[in-house]
Amino acid sequence: MTENSATIPNGNPSYLADTAPEPIRIVIADDHPIFRDGLRRLLALESDFEVVAEAADGKEVLEVVEKLDPDILLLDLKMPALDGLAALQKLQLNKRRTRVIVLTASEDKNEFVQAMKFGTSGIVLKQTATDLLIKSIRKVHAGEIWLDSNTTAAVMRQFAAPSETIAPATGRDRDRSPLSQREREIVALVAQGYKNKEMAEKMFISEQTVKNHLHNIFDKLGVSDRLELALYAIHKNLHSVP
């Protein structure tokens, strides 16, 4: 994205300080001190990042987030005292505004699905290139969901598996959704892997009607394609037919 240049009035250096955006405040949660130290040093190189704290276990995560209210939590799944998924679930129940990126060496697809259901905004594998991790932090901070292509495919395959138990959307989730009953049904079917023709047959409507509904859904939710819609459905717990 190209940034527009700005003129500094009267050459006053304080103008820059007055208009500089607030840094993205980050907490690193991992039980390996060497990893935390290395990651802190990498993130410190970015002018718009500020690592405000570290946590070595799940209980510390809850305490630090409660105390500091960071923008982003980089959360490992394998931690002592309270594992990452349990901590994530408690954060969701406490309705914290902090956006969570799971940063893990695990490739357990079940854990990825659970993390998405517990409200995580991104999943990044520890073997991911540093520039992609940095990009994920900025994207998630901006309100987007971040999964790389391999992780996305794994999550969607696991999510669509018949053996996967899908929790029903809560009344609160339905109330918050700007979608109609029929649109929520279509979102759930998209998340479960149905194609337009299959949805039309299942819902006894024309394929063009499905396309019209999808167009309206994309516009209402601000998503650009079916993959983003499916991820939104998982993230917002809209993936079961109401």
Q: Does the pTM of the predicted model rise above 0.95? A: no
What is the residue-wise DSSP string for 84-122? HHHHHHHHHHTT---EEEEEES---HHHHHHHHHTT-SE
CB atoms within 10 A of CB 80: 11
Query: What was the pLDDT predicted at 196?
Result: 87
pLDDT beneath 50: ranges in the chain: 1-11, 14-17, 162-176
pLDDT, residue 141, reads 93
CB 50 within 8 A of CB 26: yes
The full set of domain ranges for the chain reads 15-160, 171-235
Q: Domain 15-160 adopts which CATH fold?
A: Rossmann fold (3.40.50)
Distance CA 206, CA 9 (A): 60
Q: What's the confidence (pLDDT) of residue 159?
A: 57
| CA–CA separation, 182 and 212 (whole Å) | 12
CATH architecture of 171-235: Orthogonal Bundle (1.10)
